[in-house]
Amino acid sequence: MNKIILKHMATDAKDCLLDWDANFATMIFTLRVDFINPWLLLSFFWDLHHRDERFEKTKIIGAIAITSRFQTRLALPSGTTFSVRAYQPFSMSEARKEPVELEFFELPKES
């Protein structure tokens, strides 16, 4: 697992310690956190190709590409795990593009 501390720059909110592992053989991306702000998670995905050269080499860059290519899982200390998907909301206007958003779906607990 790789560890990184994500910092809130514009607020005094608590920093977030994130453990992550990207398995390119199984295409499973695992994140372990106590808590996370969705905006910090989006920024982590966007900068990931600077932290791990495999993402740069394979051109898997950004939240949409990562969550489309990998089974992305967010695991909490409570044992609850979520599937994470990024998407670009549809906009009726060409001039105004909506920002990327994340969806979290709770996964059944493994026994």
Confidence of residue 12 (pLDDT cuts 50, 70, 90): low
Q: Check: CB of residue 48 under 8 Å from CB of residue 70.
A: no
Task: Please give the distance of CA 44 from its chain centroid, rounded to a whole number.
Answer: 7
Q: What is the pLDDT of residue 110?
A: 74
- Classify the C-alpha dihedral 99-103-104-107 as positive or negative: negative
The string of pLDDT tens digits covering residues 40-93 is: 899 899 999 999 999 999 999 999 999 999 999 999 999 999 999 999 888 777
Query: Which residues partner with 75 through β-bridges?
Result: 32, 81
pLDDT at 6 over 90: no
Retrieve residue 25's tokens. 């053989």
Q: In this predicted model, which residue has the larger pLDDT, 80 or 16? A: 80
The string of pLDDT tens digits covering residues 19-44 is: 999 999 999 999 999 888 888 899 89
Confidence of residue 11 (pLDDT cuts 50, 70, 90): low
Pairing label, strands 101-106, 2-6: unpaired
Q: What is the pLDDT of residue 81?
A: 95
Residue 84 to residue 73: CA distance in whole angstroms: 6
- Give the residue extent of every domain in the chain: 2-84
